[in-house]
């Protein structure tokens, strides 16, 4: 979770989010280098008493400051396109769940199993435990197994919503009349929090998402109780 002492991105809980973090660091380094070069050049041009006229009309200089940005954009675009491919890539999904965004809660359905459907509401403050997470915890958590590729199908019953878990690097729009798809894998156990990322009305900020990553054995026990 992000706190005042942690201004960076959240720790990853999936291979995809790890790649997103690497891309973020890579891009930030490129941006810092550009900022340093541009700042040095501007300071140099301001501090000297006169401007070299050749720097304003020299073809070599124009070629250099046209080629360098093109190379820089290529260094950023190639890993970005690779990530876009990985976001849409779905090979061997083991579990499929469906989530419906509503004003203002989420409904879940485990499509691979029968009679596993539930609504997930934000836990009110009066029902919150001492060690609970205010405005983030829910009454029915979404239980999923670790190291298993999960496919999620998202839609909405009323207005636009968005199902997002920053730690997993996934954000899918929930659109009425449309079914969107996404996949993710969790590589560590724990609780992963998210929220609706589309302004959907007065209680937009009060429809959190909680994913609980567990072992296969605990997931099977949970399924047995739900069925």
Q: What is the pLDDT of residues 41-81, one digit of tens each?
A: 878 777 775 565 555 566 777 777 788 888 888 888 888 88
Give how far Cα 24 sits from Cα of 30, 32, 52, 127, Å. 10, 12, 38, 39
As given in the structure block, the two tokens for residue 53 are 């006229």
Q: What is the pLDDT of residue 40?
A: 85
Nearest to 194 by CA among 182, 218, 179: 182
State how far the Cα of 226 lies from the Cα of 112, in Å rounded to an integer: 13
Describe the crossing of helices 59-88 and 15-47 by its angle, rounded to 10 degrees. 160
Question: Which of the residue ranges 31-45, 76-90, 95-109, 189-203 would you say has the lowest mean pLDDT?
Answer: 76-90
State how far the Cα of 4 lies from the Cα of 110, in Å rounded to an integer: 37
3-state secondary structure of 4: coil
As given in the structure block, the two tokens for residue 172 are 């899918």
State how far the Cα of 170 lies from the Cα of 186, in Å rounded to an integer: 11
* Confidence bin at 24 (pLDDT 50/70/90): confident
Under 8 Å between Cβ of 168 and 192: yes
Which helix or strand (DSSP H or E) is residue 195 part of?
strand 190-196
**Structure confidence by residue, pLDDT tens digits, 122-136:** 988 888 888 778 888
Q: List CB contacts of 73: < 8 A, sequence separation 6 or more.
A: none
Q: Is the pLDDT of residue 149 over 60?
A: yes
As given in the structure block, the two tokens for residue 155 are 């839609």
Cβ-in-10-Å burial (0-12, 13-18, 19+) of 124 comes to exposed
Q: List CB contacts of 128: < 8 A, sequence separation 6 or more.
A: 134, 137
Under 8 Å between Cβ of 170 and 188: no
């Amino acid at each position: 979770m992000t706190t005042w002492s942690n201004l960076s991105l959240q720790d990853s809980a999936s291979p995809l989010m790890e790649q997103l973090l690497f891309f973020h660091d890579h891009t930030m380094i490129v941006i810092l280098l550009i900022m340093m070069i541009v700042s040095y050049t501007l300071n140099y041009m301001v501090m000297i008493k006169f401007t070299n006229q050749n720097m304003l009309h020299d073809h070599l200089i124009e070629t250099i400051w046209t080629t360098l940005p093109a190379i820089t954009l290529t260094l950023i675009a190639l890993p970005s396109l690779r990530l876009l491919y990985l976001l849409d890539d779905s090979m061997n999904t083991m579990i499929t769940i469906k989530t419906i965004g509503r004003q203002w809660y989420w409904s879940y359905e485990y499509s691979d199993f029968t009679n596993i459907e539930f609504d997930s509401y934000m836990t009110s403050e009066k029902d919150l435990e001492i060690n609970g997470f205010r405005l983030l915890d829910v009454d029915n958590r979404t239980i999923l197994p670790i190291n298993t590729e999960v496919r999620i199908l998202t839609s909405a019953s009323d207005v636009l919503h968005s199902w997002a878990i920053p730690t997993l690097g996934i954000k899918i729009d929930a659109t009425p009349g449309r079914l969107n798809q996404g996949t993710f894998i969790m590589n560590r156990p724990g609780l992963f929090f998210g929220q609706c990322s589309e302004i959907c009305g007065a209680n937009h900020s009060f429809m959190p998402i909680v994913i609980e990553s567990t072992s296969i054995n605990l997931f099977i026990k949970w399924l047995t109780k739900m069925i």
